[in-house]
Amino acid sequence: MKTTRIWDLATRIFHWLLVFSVIGLIITGNVGGNAMEWHFRLGYVVFTLLLFRIVWGLIGGHWSRFTTFIYSPKSMINYLKGAHPKHHAIGHNPLGALSVFALLLTLSAQVATGLFSDDEIAAVGPLAKYVSNATVSQASFYHTEIGKLFIILLVVSHIGAILFYLLKKRENLVKPMIHGDKLVDADTPPSRDDGRMRLLALITLLACAAVVYLTVS
Ligand code: HEM
Ligand code: HEM
């Protein structure tokens, strides 16, 4: 067994910034009024983070790449039966991967609809002026009545699953999401996480922020 880097620094920072921002978005969205100024700012942060994660899923460290956690339905069934190959339990396992993709997709839908939403008081998404009133009401309806509930439900089940692993399976998944490492078989490929990789992540993040800036301004 060997201590091996599984979650590169970029993925860990991505995760904890996402947690902080999504909690802030749920609070500021519900408070409304002046808090909407922060709702928009945090919304753009999440927009940037999601773009970053898509690119990082293609070029990031080994275990952050989508190719290491896109599983067939058969792999999921085998995982549930406990008959899975060892490497399916190192990064995101088949069930965890499902929840990761569900979170990323619902958050993307929330950002997309937020850009076209209008509360008919003062908060208007930056792209609402380019579409019809009917589209704006549909986007606002999804954003406030459906997407919000989906996200809360997914986050609660995400934390529930992590608690289940901790309490029932005696496996702490949170620590590796903080320091990056897991104790795994010595032949496990590590996620590359050196200075050059971190610089690549920073450049990618800045490029994603520029795309968001150009989209919303
Ligand atoms: C708003 C709340 C949250 C959101 C939106 C969220 C979202 C995500 C996402 C998208 C991933 C995939 C990471 C990646 O590969 O990029 C992930 C993984 C993870 N999250 Fe969260 N998360 C939230 C809250 C939390 C909290 C509060 C904890 C800890 C108590 C936590 C612990 C973890 C862990 C341990 C993983 C890795 C799971 C694994 O090993 O497969 N998350 N989360
Ligand atoms: C993951 C990201 C986001 C989350 C979790 C989120 C969550 C929320 C929540 C909980 C509300 C209040 C719903 C209610 O009144 O019951 C809200 C309202 C709103 N959000 Fe977001 N939001 C996100 C992203 C965005 C973005 C990127 C924008 C715009 C740039 C945006 C614009 C708005 C607007 C305009 C409203 C008021 C809509 C209305 O009352 O009809 N949101 N959001």
Note the pTM of the prediction, 2 decimals. 0.95
Residue 173: give its domain's CATH number.
Answer: 1.20.950.20
State residue 4 phi and psi, 5-degree precision: -130, 140
Residue with tokens 């930056």: 126
**pLDDT, average across residues 48-76:** 97
The answer on pLDDT for 45 being more than 90 is yes
**pLDDT value at position 122?**
86
**Domain boundaries, position 57:** 2-216
State residue 75 phi and psi, 5-degree precision: -60, -35
Residues 130, 28, 21: CA angle, nearest 5 degrees = 90
Total of domains in the chain: 1
d(CA 125, CA 129): 8
Ligand 2 pocket member 113 (CB < 6 A): no
How confident is the prediction for the chain on average, in pLDDT? 96
The answer on pLDDT for 121 being more than 90 is no
The answer on pLDDT for 211 being more than 90 is yes
Atom of ligand 2 nearest to the CA of 26: 10
Residue with tokens 């792209």: 127
**pLDDT, average across residues 98-108:** 97
Q: Ligand 1: residues within 6 Å at CB? A: 11, 14-15, 18-19, 22-23, 53, 64, 92, 96, 100, 103-104, 155, 158-159, 162, 173-174, 177
Nearest to 68 by CA among 32, 41, 92: 92
Query: What is the enclosing helix (H) or strand (E) of 182?
Result: strand 181-184
The answer on pLDDT for 24 being more than 90 is yes
